């Protein structure tokens, strides 16, 4: 093909894909999302944390404990209207803003980043995840559910990286400059059970760990610390207690102590909730 024809082909492809992107943006801006709370109630003298998956489990406990500290909290949930426990906290605590977010919705993440462009985020706390509670999670290879495998990668690995991409400048502009991501020992080659199970969950957390490890070589240039945490084995299934597990309040109290103590040395590390010791990949 002649150079001019090649250039024409590249240009027409570029225009076509730009048109597609514009269509996607238009679709995102046409959609309306729920917000509960008033951002003018945020206190500029307090640290600000953004927590994903905040309507239940570990995320909700982070909201409880950080509201007791008087911090500004942007808590995201897929369905704020159904997040009754979050709503109950927000009723008495105006520094809690609930924002609708499904972490696979990248246009919405960008929209939120734009909305909070002037709000420094001290801690970007990626907690939302697809946990291995679905039927096929404990199946052997013949039972791997490929839709769950794809979703787990999109939610557990891509979601936190997309959030970091969109909110890195908000974190860099803050006092504490921390990106904290809740991972799992299940994603560690060294620490995960030596058994054929949780294929999709384990692989998604291993991918998450590598995404954040790679990111740490960029965050270091902005004095931002990116750290992965194992929360321990935590009872978050209502009505079910796993033997040897801890309650969300213990996990979160200990994780917050680790988060409070993070230093530049912890950039790119995977730490345990209990005492902040470095865990193997």
Give the binding site for ligand NAP (CB under 6 A): 52-53, 55-59, 78-79, 101-104, 127-131, 155, 182, 184, 231, 233-234, 236
Nearer residue to ligand NAP within complex by CB, 135 or 221: 135
Q: Which residue, among 161, 185, 199, has the nearest Cα to 280 in the 3D structure?
A: 185
* Shortest reach from residue 66's CB to ligand NAP, in Å: 15
Q: Provide the minimum distance between the beta carbon of 45 and ligand NAP in the complex, in angstroms, as a whole number.
A: 29
Helix (H) or strand (E) holding 226: strand 225-230
Q: Where are the alpha helices (DSSP H) in the chain?
A: 3-30, 57-68, 84-92, 106-115, 146-152, 159-172, 199-219, 248-260
Least Cα distance to 236 among 58, 66, 80 occurs for: 58
Residue whose CB is less far from ligand NAP, 58 or 98: 58
Q: How far apart are CA 228 and CA 267, in angstroms?
A: 9
Shortest-Cβ-distance residue relative to ligand NAP: 57
Is the CB of 46 or the CB of 151 nearer to ligand NAP?
151
Give which of 171, 168, 186 is closest to 230, Cα–Cα. Answer: 186
Cβ distance to ligand NAP smaller for residue 3 or 280: 280
Q: How far is the CB of 249 from ligand NAP (least distance, A)?
A: 12
To ligand NAP, the closest distance from the beta carbon of 254 in angstroms equals 13
- Burial label, 5 (beta-carbon count in 10 A; 0-12, 13-18, 19+): exposed
Q: Between 190 and 265, name the residue whose CB sits nearer to ligand NAP.
A: 190
Round to whole Å and give the CA distance between 223 and 202.
30
Alpha carbons within 13 angstroms on the beta-carbon side of residue 2 total 3
* CB 133 to ligand NAP: min, Å: 6
Nearer to ligand NAP, 128 or 171 (CB): 128
Residue 275 beta carbon to ligand NAP: minimum distance, rounded to whole angstroms:
17
Backbone angles phi, psi at 93, to 5 degrees: -135, 90
């Amino acid at each position: 093909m002649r150079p001019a024809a090649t250039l024409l082909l590249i240009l027409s492809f570029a225009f076509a894909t730009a048109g597609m992107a514009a269509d996607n943006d238009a679709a995102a801006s046409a959609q309306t999302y729920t917000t509960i709370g008033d951002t003018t109630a945020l206190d500029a003298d307090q640290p600000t944390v953004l927590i994903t998956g905040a309507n239940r489990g570990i995320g909700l406990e982070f909201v409880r404990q950080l509201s007791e500290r008087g911090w500004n909290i942007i808590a995201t949930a897929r369905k704020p209207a159904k997040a009754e426990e979050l709503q109950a906290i927000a009723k008495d605590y105006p520094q809690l803003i609930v924002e609708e977010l499904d972490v696979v919705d990248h246009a919405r993440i960008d929209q939120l980043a734009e909305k909070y462009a002037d709000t420094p985020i001290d801690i970007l706390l990626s907690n939302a995840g697809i946990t291995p509670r679905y039927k096929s999670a404990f199946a052997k290879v013949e039972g791997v559910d490929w839709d769950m495998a794809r979703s787990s990668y999109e939610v557990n690995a891509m979601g936190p990286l997309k959030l970091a991409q969109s909110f890195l400048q908000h974190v860099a502009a803050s006092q504490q400059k921390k990106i904290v991501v809740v991972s799992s020992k299940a994603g560690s080659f060294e620490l995960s059970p030596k058994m054929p199970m949780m294929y999709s969950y384990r692989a998604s957390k291993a991918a998450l760990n590598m995404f954040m490890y790679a990111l740490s070589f960029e965050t270091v240039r902005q004095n931002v610390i990116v750290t992965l945490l194992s929360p321990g084995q935590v009872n978050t299934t209502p009505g079910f207690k796993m033997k040897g597990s801890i309650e969300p309040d213990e996990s979160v109290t200990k994780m917050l102590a680790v988060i409070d103590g993070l230093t530049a040395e912890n950039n790119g590390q995977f730490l345990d909730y209990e005492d902040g010791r470095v865990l193997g990949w």
